[in-house]
Structures are given as structure tokens and as C-alpha cells.
A = this chain, B = another copy of it.
Amino acid sequence: MTPTLESARKLDRHDPLAGFKARFALPEGVLYLDGNSLGAQPRDAREALALTRDQWRDELVKGWNQGWFDAPERLGDLLAPLLGAGPGEVVVSDNITLNLFKLLGYIIDSQKRARSVILSEGGNFPSDSYIAQGLCRFTGLEHRVLPEGGDLADYLDERVAAVVLSQVHYRTGRLRDMAAITALVREQGAEVIWDLAHSAGAMPVDLNGSGVRYAVGCTYKYLNGGPGAPGFLYVHKDSQARGWQPLSGWHGHAAPFDFEGDYAPAPGILRFRTGTHSALAYAPLEASLRLWREVDMTALRAKSLALGELFQDCLTDLFESKGIEDITPPVAERGSQVALIHREHGYAIVQALIARGVIGDYRAPGLMRFGFTPLYLSYEDVWQAARHFREVVETREYLGPALLTRSAVT
């Protein structure tokens, strides 16, 4: 039976996370189902940014001793509990591309080049493969691709140094079994670097409990750090003293203010810092991570799945009658998004929805992605978004005037 508006409102009345919505600054008239691309703005982030802006004006260079310099490790420790990591295991720094390069280089250095292949996955967000390719070209290592749907075990041999995998797939939202895969890779003597771009802040992540040594991720999606907010990098405590990472800048030096002539890596996670970072980029993220510390991640996961299922339940009959393929994995194997394919008109449908203020996103060919962010989406929001989706598809509005507004909204 298709859920009613009243049933959605009833879920909101019993939602333990309902209070968080007021902590976000959301534009009027928008139903935002693209928090998997760029997260909404916490109200506290606005104030934090203004404070750092004033700190620059008033304190000038002294600001570096007033919290700017050690932001990468302070924010890392704030973030760690969301990832199942401990203090000193996470640093907020650079972006995913650069953090992958650091970890790949670190693993190769720690293995003393005994292995020569980097494996990354095809069909996922390609930047992880791009940086693996750049590193391989630069070092003479070999880059191999695990094809989408391929069995990882078939691609692991004694030459594989490291594998880069996403915990949640950016297109389909498929969730991998991190613990089992980590065990498999490590049995073969290789290392795996997990990309948490679509899982950090979307669900509980248990790096320590899954035997994970290396991970990277971003903070601008589910973690609401702001557009292009700094990335993060995790290294298990037991694996932090194995060598150098190649991007050896002064902020990763053991004594950065001694200005010694030779590089010596800092102890622990700090060696994964590079050079000077933007204090303004860290300010809103710190405010957001403080908000996230209040979140019950079990409740978050429950609501995330419930929102996605509500959206699907509202539209199942429509999908069948209108030739829309729902490629979202089963509940136990999904992240926090619903993925739908309409090969012919997927792009136009997303545009028509945007024209109505329902923001999802489109990835060729044919894929419509809708992300569910439990802190600032209510059940009613999702019900209304589904209603708009139905109206757009049933009336074929996507073929009409909405297309005229495309240039204004994309």
C-alpha cells in the first residue's frame, strides 16, 4: 500500500533525530536530496566561519597559534568516533586524490617495493583510478582494474601491493563488506585503502572493528563541512611508523618550526600532513563535526534506510508502469541513496524536479541519484519529493516547459 502523507507525518512525530533539522540553514522551498553530493549548511558553521574571518583580521599571524595550525589533528580526533577510529588515527587534510597518493606511496615505501601492482575498481568514481594511474606512471608500477562486478579474489596475486575500493558505490549506492574484503586482501599480503566518500556520515563505519589499516574520505557530502571542505585520512595506530609518505611537506615534519634542513616524518598520523592549509576551510567543518558528535549513529542508520524505503514505497507502482529501473541494492547492502535509471529521460526528469525545487542529481547514462540525509530531511520531505517525482513522470512534465529552465538551474 502506498504510504500516505499522514503516515509520513506520524514517522516524523516519533523521529529521535527530528530536532537536528533546525540546526541547519536550508533554503526555502527546496527539498534537497543531493546531500550525497554537497551537504547542507549547519547554522553553527556560519558563525564559525565568521569567527575565523574576524580572527584573521584581529589576530593576524597569531591565529596560527590559536587553533589554526593544529586543526588537521583536532578535527581528525573529532571525526574519529564516526569512523570507528581512535584518537590519533585520523587527520583532516588536503583532498581524497592527494590522500590516496599519500597512502599508496606510504604502502609502497613500507613494502620496500616488493610488490608492483596497484589495483583500483572500474565503474566507480574514477578519480581513485586516475590517481592510481598517475602514481603508477610516475613510479613504473603497474595499474590494474578490477572490473565492475568482477570477483576481487580473481585479481589478487602476489604482485598486488595495494587495492583501492569504495565502501559505498557512488552510482548504485552498493555497500561492501569491509571486514571480509579487508581480511581477504590482507591474507594475500596486500593492503586495501578504503574510500569512505559515500559512507562517512551516512552510516556507522567501524574501521578498527573491521581490521582496516588505511582509509580516506571527504567531508563535504554527508558530513556537511562546506563546498570542497578538506578530506581525511585514516591510518591504524599499528601502521603509522612504516615509512614516509611521498608528499613530505613541512607540516608533516617531526619539528616543523625548527626549520631543519632534512625531512624527518612526524610521529603518528601527523606525518600525513603536507603544507599550509586554509584555516577558513576548516572552520565550518569543525562546527559541523561538533554537531555530528551529538548524533546517535544507530538511529541515523535506521532513519536513513527508512527514508530510502519510504521513497521507494511511494513510487514502486510508478517504476513498474513507467519503465524506471530501481537499481538500489537491498537494504542490508546499501548506503544512503536510491538509484533509479530511466535511460531515455533520466536527465530531463532530474531537471524537471529541480525546476520544482526537488534537488537530486544525474549521472550519465540514465542514472538518477537521490540521497537521504537523516539530520535535515523529514519523512514528510521525502514523501513530498516522491509526490513531485510521480507528478513529473505521470504528466510527462519533463518533456515540456521545465526543459526551458535548464540553463537556469544546472
Q: Interface residues, chain A, CB within 8 Å of chain B?
A: 25-27, 30, 32, 34, 37-38, 40-41, 46, 49-50, 52-53, 56-65, 68, 94-98, 101, 105, 108-109, 122-123, 125-127, 129-131, 133-135, 137-139, 145, 218, 220, 226-231, 244-251, 253, 258-263, 274-281, 284, 359, 361, 363-364, 409-410
Q: Which residues of B contact A275 (CB under 8 A)?
A: 94-98, 127, 131, 231
CB distance from A401 to the nearest CB of B (A): 19
Known: A57-B27, A57-B41, A139-B139. A410 touches B281 (CB 8 A): no
B262 engages A129 (CB within 8 Å): yes
Q: Which residues of B contact A46 (CB under 8 A)?
A: 53, 57
Within the assembled complex, what's the spacing in Å between the Cα atoms of A131 and B127?
A: 23
CB distance from A378 to the nearest CB of B (A): 17
CB distance from A115 to the nearest CB of B (A): 15
Q: Which residues of B contact A125 (CB under 8 A)?
A: 250, 259
Q: Which residues of B contact A57 (CB under 8 A)?
A: 25-27, 40-41, 46
Within the assembled complex, what's the spacing in Å between the Cα atoms of A101 and B410?
A: 35
Listed residue (A109, A123, A274) with the most chain B CB atoms within 10 angstroms of its CB? A274
A246 engages B134 (CB within 8 Å): yes
Identity of the chain B residue whose Cβ is nearest the Cβ of A62 in the assembled complex: B409
Identity of the chain B residue whose Cβ is nearest the Cβ of A46 in the assembled complex: B53
A280 engages B60 (CB within 8 Å): no
B250 engages A127 (CB within 8 Å): yes
A361 engages B250 (CB within 8 Å): no
Known A-B contacts: A40-B60, A227-B278. Give 11 more (CB < 8 A): A26-B57, A34-B61, A38-B56, A50-B50, A95-B274, A95-B275, A95-B276, A96-B276, A98-B98, A127-B250, A278-B280
Within the assembled complex, what's the spacing in Å between the Cα atoms of A184 and B26?
A: 58
Within the assembled complex, what's the spacing in Å between the Cα atoms of A63 and B41?
A: 13
B220 engages A276 (CB within 8 Å): yes
A126 engages B261 (CB within 8 Å): yes
CB distance from A107 to the nearest CB of B (A): 12
CB distance from A346 to the nearest CB of B (A): 15
Within the assembled complex, what's the spacing in Å between the Cα atoms of A98 and B40?
A: 29
Partner of A130, one of B98, B263, B277, B284: B263
A278 engages B281 (CB within 8 Å): yes
Within the assembled complex, what's the spacing in Å between the Cα atoms of A315 and B230?
A: 45
| A to B CB contacts below 8 Å, 25 in the list | A38-B56, A38-B60, A40-B60, A50-B53, A52-B227, A60-B359, A65-B410, A68-B227, A94-B275, A95-B274, A96-B276, A97-B247, A97-B249, A97-B251, A97-B275, A105-B138, A125-B250, A126-B260, A130-B262, A131-B247, A137-B246, A227-B280, A228-B281, A259-B364, A280-B280
Known: A247-B97, A249-B98, A275-B96. A262 touches B133 (CB 8 A): yes
A126 engages B259 (CB within 8 Å): yes
